[in-house]
Chain A
Amino acid sequence: MLRYLIPLVIFVVLAVFLAIGLTRDPHELKSVLINKPAPTFRVPQLNASDKMISNEDMRGKVWLLNVWASWCVACREEHPYLIEYAKSGVVPIYGLNYKDRREDALATLDELGDPYTVSAVDLDGRVGIDFGVYGAPETYVIDQGGTIRFKYVGPMMPDVWKEKILPVVQELNRGTAK
């Protein structure tokens, strides 16, 4: 009896472990910055290179930071939806134009439209390092006090927006209303 039971138990335990492993995406890393203050940056704006933008400018409101680039194919995928989200006016979307040529970035926005309130320029990827960026597109939800509340890696498609981003934003906005 035992001689059949032991291999069976080993098999079941292994199968359960492997089954859990299959449902996980190894590329999705949990950010260590959740519930920590967003790193400070002060970089030029994409549309007006003589003007600077800092995360201090967004203090007091809930905002999204969307890491994007013209060379990033998945960013093109989410781009039309970003425009819709921006139009809905629920939350302002700020861009972090990551390691991109200015002319390429501006051409992309000309072609596809510009969903960003302002795009910050991170030419050498230094701001990206502070935010723990490892692959565009990435989207951060940052609250009124400048704390990162949520991070999503990958294109922010409508299901992600509805199920993951919006609830967090609404919860945070309710916090201000009180």
Chain B
Amino acid sequence: MTRLRLLPILLIFLLAPVIKAQVQEEEVPSDDPVIEQRLQNLSKELRCLQCQNQTLADSPAGLAADLRREIRIQMKAGKSDKEIIAFLTQRYGDFILYKPRVTYTTYLLWFGPFILLLGGLYLLFHYIKQRRDLITEKPLSADEHRRAEELLGSLPGKETT
């Protein structure tokens, strides 16, 4: 048993020489605090294409570091956030934006919840109205009055006339 458990560890050591690393330049923060702050804000709204569920700000992936470096360079060159976003979407598409743009493909995404909300409100009012109709007292008609009297009169232990 113990020998079997050692096998994966052994395999890692055997494979180690095969595994090669990606060339990754060390990430150098800009010496301009304004740029770093702008990068922080902007990269929180951008998706890391490699990890997909992480923002560009959080992602440790090589591609994310490359894109942050590219954004720093462009900010230093005086590009606005808008221009940088345009640069990125031209290459990676709208998917890089965490906040999807309002286009015809995203209408359902943006407005679907409101449609659901309206539908829910309608059902709720409908239900409440129905309940209220059930509860509210309606005056008895003469005929109903007579029948009620009859029923009450026939109750045992309650003698009338």
Contact = CB atoms under 8 A, between A and B. Distances in A.
Contacts of A30: 93
A32 B93 contact: yes
A104 interface: yes
Nearest to B66: A125
Nearest to B88: A129
Contacts of A126: 66, 70
Interface string B31-52: 0000000000000000001101
A130 B90 CA distance: 9
The contact size tier of chain B is 20 to 34
Contacts of B19: 71
B23 A134 contact: no
Interface residues of A, number: 26
Contacts, number: 58
Q: Tell me whether chain A's interface is mostly helix, strand or loop, or mixed.
A: loop
Most buried by A among B22, B63, B66: B22
A27 B52 contact: yes
Interface of B: 19-25, 49-50, 52, 62-63, 66-67, 70, 89-93, 95
Given A29-B92, A32-B93, A71-B19, 12 more contacts: A27-B52, A29-B95, A31-B93, A32-B89, A32-B92, A71-B20, A101-B20, A124-B66, A126-B70, A129-B70, A134-B63, A135-B50
Interface of A: 26-27, 29-33, 69-71, 99-101, 104, 123-126, 128-135
